[in-house]
Amino acid sequence: MDLKQLLLKDAMIMDLKATNKEDAIEEMVDKYYQVGVIDDKELYKSDILKREAQTSTGIGDGIAMPHARDKAVKRATVLFAKSAKGIDYKSLDGQPAYLFFMIAAPDGADNLHLQALAALSSLLINPELVKNLKAAKTADEVQELFDKAMKEKEAKDKADEEKEKAKEAAAAKAAASDNDKPYVVAVTACPTGIAHTYMAEAALKEQAEKMGVDIKVETNGSEGVKHQLTSADIDRASGVIIAADKKVDMPRFNGKHLVSRPVSDGINKAEELINLAVEDKAPVFHSEGGEEEESSDSGEKRSLWSRIYADLMNGISNMLPFVVGGGILMAISFLLENSVGAKSQWFLFFNNVGNYAFSFLIPVLAAYIAVSIGDRPALLPGFVGGYMASQATASVVSSKSPAGFIGGLLAGFIAGWIIVALKKWLKVMPKSLDGLKTILIYPVLGLLLTGAVMYFMVDPIFAVVNHAITAFLESMGTGNAVVLGALLGGMMSIDMGGPFNKAAYTFAIGTFTATQDGALMAAVMVGGMVPPLAIAIATTFWKNKFTEQERQAGLSNYILGLSFITEGAIPFAAGDPLHVIVSSVIGSAIGGGLTQLWGVNVPAPHGGIFVTPLANKPLLYLVAVIIGAIISGVIYGVWKPAKKEANK
């Protein structure tokens, strides 16, 4: 595809008026909408901002490449924009950005479009082209510069390809002829797979040529895997470079010196990465039976808490679809029960399917905690251990209560670490028996040991503990209930989706599944709705304290808050944590406490305002939400200092 078809003259902005990152994105998105490249500004801008939240697309050297691929885009296009004074784009090198390339790719973009976008991205590591673009005065001049650079690159690529073929032919005739020249392999990948993937590839190849190093780069982009590394490539390489912001196939690099960095380092620190790979300064990567062990160029290990938290979040994130899907169907069934009766097939259908989904909560939680620790071999023992925790079975201690969520959490960690221990113990086995490990030894021994620990220790102990907690909650007086409700409600706002939020929500879910009492669900639901609603209220009534973009985002928080999506407040909390978090915690704690003071019960694990008809006291449930949101919104609105740019 001709690059002129991508770099539309009508879409270029030769004098960008914006003075900050948010306004620059807004101005470029508006231009796309004006020329008909996109038909939904909000959708496209939302996806641009999501990409920026992962890591800034200000790649350094005065260049920014915001990009998105979604259904709002009607045709593949690259918007070129210039800023004479430069804009603080939060670039990776901390310097202002002068040149902007906003890439728009249709959701169903074909390979031809994607190849053209990748080619365009790779041109931008050419300092001469960047210099000329900064001096360009007209849109025609920009097109001519890219056309010339593309032709030069195609000629160079063709020459390199012929050179590579000749080198491979020579190597086939005399394998030792090239042994003195260093050789490394690399993998580049970014979440979107449009720009950074290919820029890192180009930067690594160009730097390797300057250093006299042979390199082969595999790209994991939007087109799929290109230039895939073979076993022969990896065996021959003295080191491996991973420049990626998403998961790549790692076990194939077992035993190789490997440096793993973000994709931006592949663009900006190519020389450093190549030196580490060539000089054997990177740690040796170890993988066994598909297990991907932690590896970093610095050799640093995560703290114990960060590892536990990551494992726990893996279990919870895989469990949440069962909570939401099953919970919504159960909520629908309760609505149907009120209108068609408890014996109706419609009620029974929705209620049973929802309950079936709920029956998997603890097994899935345990299974994916275990997988996070011990990889795939830990799935079976984790799943069975979680199932054992969810059942009130007679073991060495007879109890009518299952071990519940606490037992399920322990089952996941126990199963995962048992598999890790087995992998270490079984390293002495002959290599010829490696095939038996994953299909026989890990499943049998992992299940046996996990089952034994659960049957003889965890289930008996935590069945009693869980029963005691349930009895305590059922007998708890109003004063204690209010304190607990306030605590859980406040925790929902401390980190808005992080460990405190998940701990409160998981505790309420555990209580709900054990007792079918939705009192604590009411507390956490109110607590989780307050932060985004407070943001919406503050941006509505204190407009002078927010930018136009923040006011627009604030409006969407009305919907997010009513839907019990606490994460809608995260962008505001990230930019102003003190004012947002403190005000949100106060309102959430008050709202959560009020639900317990008034004895509100919501027998649904999700749904926010939309499950109000299920509450035993729907009006008081709504009042608790409104009071908490108004208190937080007023505190935030009054407390927050005004932004100067908000008055423009």
For strands 214-221 and 224-226, give the pairing.
antiparallel
- The pLDDT tens digits of the residues spanning 178-204 come to 456 789 999 998 755 566 787 788 889
My answer on whether 29 and 110 are in the same domain is: yes
Asked if residues 492 and 581 have their Cβ atoms less than 8 Å apart, the reply is: no
Does residue 647 fall inside a structural domain? no
The one-character DSSP state at 55 is S
Residue-wise pLDDT tens digits, 438-460: 778 889 999 999 999 988 888 78
Q: For residues 621 and 612, what is the distance between their CA atoms, to the nearest angstrom?
A: 7
Regarding predicted confidence, which is higher, 435 or 105? Answer: 105
191 falls within a domain: yes
pLDDT, tens digit (0-9, with 9 covering 90-100), for 128-141: 888 888 888 898 89
**pTM of the model as a whole:** 0.47
Please give the angle made by the CA atoms of 106, 110 and 111, to the nearest 5 degrees. 125
Would 568 be classed as within a structural domain? Answer: yes
What pLDDT is recorded for position 591? Answer: 94
Tell me if residue 516 falls in helix, strand or coil.
coil
- What count of residues does the chain have? 648
Under the banding of pLDDT at 50, 70 and 90, the label for residue 348 is confident
Residues 611 and 574 in one domain: yes
In whole angstroms, give the CA distance from residue 604 to residue 316. 18
**Which among 285, 317, 341 is the end of a domain?**
285
Categorize the per-residue pLDDT at 116 as very low, low, confident or very high, splitting at 50, 70 and 90. low
Percentage of residues of the chain with pLDDT beyond 90: 22
Query: Nearest Cα to 498, choosing from 558, 567, 560, 588?
Result: 567
Instruction: Assess whether 261 and 319 both reside in one domain.
Output: no
Q: Is 199 in the same domain as 251?
A: yes
Residue 112 has pLDDT above 50, yes or no: no
pLDDT band at 392 (very low <50, low <70, confident <90, very high): low
Q: Which amino acid is at 289?
A: G
Please check whether residue 315 lies inside any domain of the structure.
yes
Based on the domain organization, do 234 and 135 belong to the same domain?
no
Residue 453's CB is within 10 A of a number of other CB atoms, namely 19
> Which position has the higher pLDDT, 508 or 323?
508
Q: Are 273 and 259 in contact (CB under 8 A)?
A: yes
Taking residues 622-640, report their average pLDDT. Answer: 94
Helix (H) or strand (E) holding 101: strand 97-106
Give 367's pLDDT tier (boundaries 50, 70, 90): very high
Q: Which amino acid is at 48?
A: I
Ordered alpha helix ranges (H), 341-433: 345-358, 361-374, 379-390, 404-425
- Judgement on whether residues 315 and 448 belong to the same structural domain of the protein: yes
Pairing of strands 239-244, 183-189: parallel
Question: Is 362:386 a contact under the CB 8 Å cutoff?
Answer: yes
The confidence score (pLDDT) of residue 645 equals 43
- Of residues 639 and 465, the one with the higher pLDDT is 639
For the range 550-557, what are the long-range contacts, defined as Cβ-Cβ under 8 Å and sequence gap of 24 or more?
550/646, 557/532, 557/533
Catalytic residue positions, numbered: 67, 190
Q: Is the pLDDT of residue 590 over 90?
A: yes
Structure tokens at 172: 């086939």
For position 497, what pLDDT does the model report? 59
* Closest by CA position to 72, among listed 118, 104, 103, 98: 104
CA distances from 172 to 163, 165, 167, 177 (A): 14, 11, 9, 9
Tell whether 487 is covered by a domain: yes
Residue 449 lies in a domain: yes
Locate all alpha helices (DSSP H) within 227-278, ordered by sequence.
231-236, 263-268, 270-278
pLDDT of residue 571: 66
499 pLDDT more than 60: no
Inform me whether the pLDDT recorded for 107 exceeds 60: yes
The token pair at 330 is 């159960």
The CATH number of the domain holding residue 76 is: 3.40.930.10
Residue 461's domain comprises 304-472
Alpha carbons within 13 angstroms on the beta-carbon side of residue 592 total 32
Q: Measured between alpha carbons, how far is 94 from 109 in angstroms, rounded to an integer? A: 33
Local confidence band at 473 (pLDDT 50, 70, 90 cut-offs):
low
Higher pLDDT, 93 or 195: 93
> Could you tell me the CATH number of the domain that includes residue 215?
3.40.50.2300
Share of the chain above pLDDT 70, in %: 80
Question: What CA–CA distances, in Å, run from 60 to 16, 89, 196, 321, 451?
Answer: 18, 10, 12, 39, 54
Residues 339 and 205 in one domain: no
* Whether 315 and 281 share a structural domain: no
Strand order in the sheet with 183-189: 224-226, 214-221, 183-189, 239-244, 258-261
The pair phi, psi for residue 453, each rounded to 5°, is -65, -40
- Out of 444, 472, 500, a domain closes at 472
644 within domain boundaries: no
Question: Of 32-41, 85-94, 476-485, 584-593, which range is least confident?
Answer: 476-485
Helix, strand and coil content of the chain, in percent to the nearest 5, comes to 65, 10, 25
For 425, list phi and psi in degrees, rounded to 5: -65, -35
pLDDT band at 291 (very low <50, low <70, confident <90, very high): very low
Tell me the mean pLDDT in the region 576-580: 85
Q: What is the mean pLDDT of residues 374-386?
A: 90
Tell which wins on pLDDT, 598 or 372: 598
Q: Are residues 119 and 38 in the same domain?
A: yes
Cα 533-535-538 angle, rounded to 5 deg: 110
The Cα–Cα gap between 195 and 122 comes to 8
pLDDT at 575 over 90: no
DSSP state of 646: G
Has residue 167 been placed in a domain?
A: no
Overall domain count for the chain: 4
Q: For the packed helices 304-340 and 361-374, what is the interaxial angle rounded to 10 degrees?
A: 160
**Where among 104, 130, 150 does a domain terminate?**
150
pLDDT average, residue stretch 171-182: 56
Mean pLDDT (the chain, rounded): 80
Question: Is residue 545 located within the same domain as residue 600?
Answer: yes
Task: With cut-offs at 50, 70 and 90, classify the pLDDT of residue 526.
Answer: very high
Residue 339 has pLDDT above 70, yes or no: yes
| pLDDT of res. 646 | 39
Q: Are residues 504 and 613 in the same domain?
A: yes
One domain for residues 466 and 485: no
Q: What are phi and psi of 20, to 5 degrees?
A: -145, 170
Write down the pLDDT at residue 523.
92
| b/e burial code for range 7-28 (CB count within 10 A of at least 16 → b) | bbeebbbeebebeebbbbbbbb
Closest C-alpha to 278, from 241, 229, 233: 241
